[in-house]
């Protein structure tokens, strides 16, 4: 079975993991854990922006409904990540990747470039999430602290997730 | 290819807006704080839009509003004149107050930059205007009607060499002729004020009422520097209230007793 065929299944499993994370892994008011931006970023390059946005919306709503959060908050924060996915890949990983429709991997593109793309996606998502969650009631220092701490935690978690989502890296791990 | 990309990007933007709107709407329905925050934001945005639209609408209505105010001013001036003359007047009707008839008019043409200035107003004989009537505003005496046709009248502007108005220093001070200084747009000279009169720069100059053209107590301007001429009288600089370059709405005043007064003068 081709490695890419596993993506849909893996995506669903990770969505389930995110629901569990949201429900049972509360680390206090300053931390929110999410792997959703990494999942969107790792979607096959051939997936169009509209398809990506629909998937992001559905995933966000699914997590919102199945966890204790506000319905719509994850969807609202995740759709812009899907919209900006291709520009992010274009900036950090190069135009060629999109032209050729290739998938990216740590092995091929390097950890630094992928980390930069991941941080950008996470920053958009977390920024919007904290902004919508606070709804103008939280002080700026609180929002900034929450965004900073969450970004650091989500980055580490997302790196692990991405290693399992990228086809080339999975193949490499399989060969070991 | 490019056209296809453009259409796809447009569709993507539309889908994005749709999804975001749906997500934010759901968030608004489910979170009380978010609901309040969104409605506050919406109110602010709609307030700004309506406020801006209202300002634009008001800007385009300024001309109409200006004309309404000018007409209102005319009515107030007429009312004031009537009030003043109420005790003495016996037969008041229409636009008549005391000895004067007041007729609202608009300037259709004006000359301001020569030594012999004039104006043409949109009222004529058909409106009851006769030669020799005065032209005033709330801020001064503007000119005198020289000729009238059916619908228009030609008035000699106050800014004319050889034209003078009988003016009084303060409401009950000395009286002398006020004429244009021939130089500035708002400058005039009040002459023949006896030198024993105590002068205070900044005093208001009014029409005296000693002429058969203008009613009394119309404010004309304020006094400035004064100098003694021929060792006998003061010549006082006056800064006029009225800005002749912005004139548009005026009132024509006609002394109803003028003919009788002039006849008496001539017979004597």
B47 and B164 in a single domain? The answer is no
Q: What total number of domains does chain B contain?
A: 2
Task: Give the number of other CB atoms < 10 A from CB of residue B89.
Answer: 14
pLDDT at A57 over 90: yes
Q: Does A129 fall in a domain?
A: yes
Q: Is A69 on the interface with B (CB under 8 A)?
A: no
β strands within chain B, DSSP E: 96-97, 100-110, 116-121, 134-137, 140-148, 153-160, 164-169, 175-180, 187-194, 204-207, 219-229, 233-240, 249-255
B102 and B176 in a single domain? The answer is yes
Pick the residue of B4, B12, B43 with the most A CBs within 10 A to test the interface with A by mutation. B12
User: A80-91: buried (b, 16+ CB within 10 Å) or exposed (e) per residue?
Assistant: bbbbbbbebbee
Pick the residue of B23, B36, B39 with the most A CBs within 10 A to test the interface with A by mutation. B23
Give the DSSP letter of residue B124.
-
Q: Does A2 fall in a domain?
A: no
Nearest to residue B236, comparing CAs of B253, B250, B223?
B223
Q: Does A134 fall in a domain?
A: yes
How high is the pLDDT of residue B16?
A: 92
B233 and B148 in a single domain? The answer is yes
Q: Does A16 fall in a domain?
A: yes
How high is the pLDDT of residue B238?
A: 92
Whole-prediction pTM:
0.53
| B44, B63, B84 - which closes a domain | B84
pLDDT at A21 over 80: yes
Q: What are phi and psi of A37, to 5 degrees?
A: -60, -40
Q: How far apart are CA A82 and CA A40, in angstroms?
A: 6
CA of B15 to nearest chain A CA: how many angstroms apart?
A: 7
3-state SS, A92-124, equals HHCHHHHHHCCCCCHHHHCHHHHHHHHHHHHHH
B16 and B46 in a single domain? The answer is yes
On chain B, the residues whose CB falls within 8 A of the CB of A83 are 12, 16
Cβ B109 vs Cβ B143: under 8 Å: no
Q: How far apart are CA B48 and CA B52, in angstroms?
A: 6
Q: Is A84 on the interface with B (CB under 8 A)?
A: no
Q: Please state at what angle helix A49-66 crosses helix A73-83, rounded to 10 degrees.
A: 160
Nearest to residue B193, comparing CAs of B207, B206, B178?
B178
Q: Is A123 on the interface with B (CB under 8 A)?
A: no
B139 and B79 in a single domain? The answer is no
Give chain A's radius of gyration (CA, Å): 16
Q: What are phi and psi of A62, to 5 degrees?
A: -60, -45
Phi-psi region of B105 (alpha: psi -120 to 50; beta: other; left: phi over 0): beta
Q: Which of B15, B36, B37 sits opposite A53 (nearest CB)?
A: B15
Q: Is A53 on the interface with B (CB under 8 A)?
A: yes
Q: Is A62 on the interface with B (CB under 8 A)?
A: no
Task: Residue A47: give the domain boundaries.
Answer: 7-175
How high is the pLDDT of residue A1?
A: 42
Pairs across A and B, CB distance < 8 A: 69
Residue B262 is inside which H or E element, if any?
helix B258-267
Q: Which of B11, B23, B40 sits opposite A60 (nearest CB)?
A: B23
B105 and B80 in a single domain? The answer is no
- pLDDT tens digits for range A73-99: 899 999 999 999 888 988 888 887 777
Say which CATH number the domain at B181 has: 2.40.10.340
B262 and B143 in a single domain? The answer is yes
B223 and B140 in a single domain? The answer is yes
Whether A72 sits inside 8 A of B23 (CB atoms) is yes
B152 and B57 in a single domain? The answer is no
B73 and B106 in a single domain? The answer is no
CA of A75 to nearest chain B CA: how many angstroms apart?
A: 6
Of all residues in chain B, the percent with pLDDT exceeding 90 is 17
Q: How far apart are CA B205 and CA B241, in angstroms?
A: 10
First-to-last CA distance in chain B? 102
Say which CATH number the domain at A164 has: 1.10.1760
Q: Is B21 on the interface with A (CB under 8 A)?
A: no
Nearest to residue A13, comparing CAs of A150, A164, A170?
A164
pLDDT at B92 over 50: no
pLDDT at B81 over 90: no
B140 and B224 in a single domain? The answer is yes
Phi-psi region of B209 (alpha: psi -120 to 50; beta: other; left: phi over 0): left
| B84, B100, B123 - which closes a domain | B84
Residue B239 CB-density burial (10 A; 0-12 exposed, 13-18 middle, 19+ buried) = middle
Q: What total number of domains does chain A contain?
A: 1
How high is the pLDDT of residue B40?
A: 84
Task: Residue B66: give the domain boundaries.
Answer: 1-84
ipTM confidence score: 0.83
* Helices assigned H by DSSP within B61-176: 62-85
Q: Is A57 on the interface with B (CB under 8 A)?
A: yes
B61 and B14 in a single domain? The answer is yes
Q: How far apart are CA A175 and CA A120, in angstroms?
A: 31
CA of B55 to nearest chain A CA: how many angstroms apart?
A: 30
For chain B positions 29-58, those within 8 Å of chain A (CB to CB) are 29-31, 33-34, 36-37, 40
- pLDDT tens digits for range B30-49: 877 888 888 888 888 888 88
Q: Which of B23, B25, B36 sits opposite A57 (nearest CB)?
A: B23
């Amino acid at each position: 079975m081709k490695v890419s065929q596993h993506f849909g299944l893996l995506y669903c499993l990770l969505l389930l993991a995110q629901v569990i994370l949201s429900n049972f892994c509360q680390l206090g008011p300053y931390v929110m854990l999410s792997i959703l931006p990494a999942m969107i970023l790792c979607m096959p390059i051939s997936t169009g922006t509209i398809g990506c946005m629909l998937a992001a919306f559905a995933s966000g709503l699914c997590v919102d409904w199945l966890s204790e959060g506000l319905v719509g908050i994850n969807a609202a924060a995740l759709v812009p990540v899907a919209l900006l996915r291709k520009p992010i890949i274009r900036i950090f990983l190069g135009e060629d990747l999109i032209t050729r429709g290739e998938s990216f991997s740590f092995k091929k593109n390097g950890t630094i470039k992928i980390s930069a793309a991941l941080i950008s996606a996470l920053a958009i998502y977390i920024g919007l999430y904290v902004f919508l969650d606070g709804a103008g009631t939280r002080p700026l220092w609180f929002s900034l602290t929450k965004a900073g701490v969450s970004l650091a935690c989500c980055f580490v978690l997302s790196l692990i997730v991405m290693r399992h989502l990228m086809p080339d890296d999975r193949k490499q791990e399989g060969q070991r | 290819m490019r056209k296809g990309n453009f259409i796809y990007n447009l569709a993507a933007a539309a889908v994005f807006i749709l999804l975001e709107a749906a997500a934010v709407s759901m968030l608004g329905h489910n979170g009380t704080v978010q609901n309040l925050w969104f409605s506050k934001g919406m109110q602010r945005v709609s307030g700004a839009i309506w406020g801006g639209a209202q300002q634009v609408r008001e800007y385009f209505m300024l001309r109409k509003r200006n004309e309404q105010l000018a007409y209102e001013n005319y009515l107030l001036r007429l009312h004031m004149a009537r009030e003043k003359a109420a005790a003495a007047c016996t037969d008041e009707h229409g636009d008549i107050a005391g000895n004067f008839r007041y007729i609202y008019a608009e300037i259709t043409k004006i000359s301001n930059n020569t030594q012999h200035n004039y104006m043409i107003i949109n009222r004529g004989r058909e409106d009851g205007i006769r030669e020799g009537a005065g032209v005033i505003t709330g801020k001064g005496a503007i000119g005198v009607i020289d000729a009238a046709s059916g619908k228009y009248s030609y008035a000699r502007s106050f800014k004319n060499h050889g034209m003078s108005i009988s003016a009084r220093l303060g409401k009950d001070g000395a009286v002398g002729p006020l004429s244009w200084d021939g130089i500035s747009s708002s400058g005039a000279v009040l002459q023949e004020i006896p030198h024993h009169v105590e002068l205070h720069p900044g005093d208001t100059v009014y029409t005296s009422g000693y002429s058969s053209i203008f009613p009394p107590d119309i404010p004309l301007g304020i006094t400035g520097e004064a100098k003694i001429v021929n060792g006998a009288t003061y010549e006082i600089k006056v800064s006029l209230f009225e800005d002749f370059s912005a004139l548009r709405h005026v009132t024509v005043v006609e002394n109803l007793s003028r003919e009788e007064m002039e006849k008496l003068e001539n017979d004597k």
